[in-house]
Structure 1
Amino acid sequence: MVSKEIIGTVISNKMNKTIIVAVNKKAAHKKYKKTLPKTKKYFVHDEYNQYKTGDVVKIILSRPLSKNKCWKVLA
């Protein structure tokens, strides 16, 4: 089974072993069909606290690690 992979930008690393990654994408409005920017934030497990704000990372879906965290950093 292939896990889901997403590329995003680190926007916060203030928590221990956790970073927040923002993923930007464009989605069309249902009625007007205009393309609008959408941003989603993911809580991601960073075991060694090695990623800093502004880094571009690839994240992968994993088992639930806490209430909000079910993603891990792949690279």
Structure 2
Amino acid sequence: MSDRKQRKNITGTVTSRSGDKSIKVTYDYKIRHPLYNKEIKQKTVVHAHDEQNECAVGDRISIMETRPLSKLKRFRVVKVLHKAPVID
């Protein structure tokens, strides 16, 4: 049985290119407050590994959980879902 099928897959937006082959990805999720039952929107920023340096700020991408690649990087880019428009 493949172990990769049980890893987290997240869709998010690239918010920063912090270095060579490194990006920051922001993704949103909703939780329900335990007492008031109101949905609360929260966001998380994770560091990801971009092997081909193909991502730009604003791109929608899919990332997958992987082994630790550095102090902060625990995800890698699977594919670019939507490229951000280039502003000249």
TM class, shorter-length: over 0.9
Which of 25, 49, 52 lines up with 2:53 in the alignment? 49
Provide the identity percentage.
36
Highest RCO, 1 vs 2 (Cα 8 Å, sep ≥ 6)? 1
1:50 is displaced (CA, Å) by 1.4
Distance, in Å, in 1 between the alignment partners of 2:20 and 2:36 is 43
Whole-angstrom distance in 2 between the partners of 1:40 and 1:30: 20
Structure 1 equivalent of residue 86 of structure 2:
none
Q: Please give the TM-score of this superposition, normalised by the length of structure 2.
A: 0.80
**Local SS of the residue matching 1:67:** coil
Which deviations, in whole Å up to 9, do the C-alpha atoms of 1:30-61 show, x marking residues without a partner? 11111111101110001122101110000001
Amino acid at match of 2:11: I
Pairwise CA RMSD: 0.9
